[in-house]
Chains A and B, each alone.
Chain A
Amino acid sequence: MISVIIYTILSFLLDNLISCYRMFSITNPSIFSTIYTVISLVIISSYFDNNKKLIYITIILGILFDIIYTNTFILNIVLFLLIVYIIKEIDNYIPNNIFTINIKAIIAVFIYHIVTYIILLLSHYGSYPIKLLGMILIRSIIMTIIYTSISYILFKKIYFKVYDKKIK
């Protein structure tokens, strides 16, 4: 459980660190941009037998994301819960391996960007062209794959060799 919390905190801080640098900008999204917190949710969700604990962690991450990064109230709580629900549903049909976990992470990041895009348009916050959304989605794939693969290998090979059990 502690390693899961440390991993999610690190991913959360990584979002802060990475967002500040030039290559991660809106007008020219880099091929290395992604949302690390969302990927961490995908990785940890399959290691939870106890859904209650997973929901608590997701809500806490959502609250922190809302307060610190987006200055909103429930936007990210809803988004994160939606992503975890979808990933859990997919988990019932597709078992995890290095290939499927990457697909799930890409789906999760895409859901986050697309839902955010729709909400920003509906709330008249700004006018973003759909081409930009497409560019952000495509350019987020590489870093999503890299971070998901590293995280999956670390969890699979290190964590489960030590504990060899799911979180109850």
Chain B
Amino acid sequence: MKKKKKQNRQRILIIAIGVIILVSILSVTLNEDKKASSFSSLVKDSVLNISKVVLYPFRFVINKVEDYNNLADIREKYQELLSSTDRISSLEAENIELRKQIDALKDELNITYTINDYEFLNATVISRNIAYWYNTITIDKGSFNGIKKDMVVVNSQGLIGKIVSVSTFTSDVRLLTTGDTANKISVRITDGITSVNGLISGYDYGTNTLTAEGISNTERVNAGDYVYTSGLGGIYPSGILIGFVREINTDEYDLAKIINVEPVCDFNDINYVAVLKRKENNDD
């Protein structure tokens, strides 16, 4: 009887140790900030490129169906575009003037990089990570195209995330929706006249909003204010739109503001992205 009990205890102990070791190994392997080995890089590139070819007919049909659905409101969009084309020439002139002013101010303030100092490398999303609950996407550009870890990824609307892993022909992008507390993003919240700095610290799945913290309660922030990257921290260049202020709350001590930011990007519908690459002549 005693022997049986002892055996059972030993078994439970072995299982517990096994589970602890397994979870530890998995925790280490879940860390995406590592370089892909040449074997995994080769396997990933080959399978994803083969699947791209095999799945092309299916993608083609699905895209055609989506295009057909979009046709419904094309007349409305066309009218909107017609009215906005009238403003393009005046905006172009304003843009040239603003660029001149930015260059002059950059020289004066000794600022090294802004969004204008980057070139865009367009890429297509070829896979969306299932196990991370769709919070990582794979794009069809890799180290062969000059992609490096920590490069910033945007789409036509605004900031999406950053590169976390690179293989020869593909790269993984960690989306802002991950709520990665280890990599907070420094942001500037502005109404066009005044601005305050804060940090994007997480993502709320209930309200589908990003959470901005580190803003004193005495600072003035209004719903609808723009939220841009501030350029502080070194990874994200300044001036990339993240979203708009939706709701302003205070922390439990009424000392700091906690702001819900509505992202401009639709993270559920990302098909094409652009990776920001520093222009060659600016490389150190």
Contact = CB atoms under 8 A, between A and B. Distances in A.
Asked if A and B bind, the verdict is: yes
Interface of A: 13, 15-17, 19-22, 24-28, 35, 64-65, 67-76, 78, 116, 119-120, 122-129, 131-132, 136
B261 to A, nearest CB: 15
A125 B43 contact: no
B192 interface: no
Contact of A119 (B23, B165, B178): B23
A72 to B, nearest CB: 5
B29 interface: yes
Interface in B66-111: none
A20 B62 CA distance: 11
A89 to B, nearest CB: 16
Minimum-distance CB pairs A-B, first 3: A25-B268, A73-B29, A123-B27
Contacts of A35: 130
9 contacts: A19-B129, A64-B43, A64-B47, A69-B130, A70-B129, A72-B29, A116-B131, A120-B132, A125-B180
Given A22-B269, A24-B128, A67-B44, A126 B58 contact: no
Nearest to A136: B133
Interface stretch (B145-153, B200-208, B273-281): B200-208
Contacts of B62: 21
Interface of B: 22-23, 25-27, 29-32, 36, 40, 43-44, 47-48, 51, 54-55, 58-59, 62, 125-136, 165, 172, 177-181, 202, 205-206, 208, 267-269, 271
* B26, B130, B267, most chain A CB atoms within 10 A: B130
A64 B44 CA distance: 8
Contact of B36 (A25, A71, A128, A136): A71
A20 B271 contact: yes
B23 A122 contact: yes
Contacts of A28: 268
A124 B127 CA distance: 23
Query: Helix, strand, loop or mixed for chain B's interface?
Result: mixed
Contacts of B31: 123
Contacts, number: 128
A13 B55 contact: yes
Nearest to B269: A22
A16 B52 CA distance: 9
A68 B205 contact: no
Contacts of B23: 119, 122-123
Nearest to A135: B205
B29 A68 contact: no
A19 B127 contact: yes
B205 A71 contact: no
Contacts of B135: 26, 126
B108 to A, nearest CB: 41
A27 B27 contact: no
A129 B136 CA distance: 18
Contacts of B29: 72-75
Contacts of B271: 20
B269 A75 contact: no
Given A24-B128, A74-B25, A129-B205, A16 B55 contact: yes
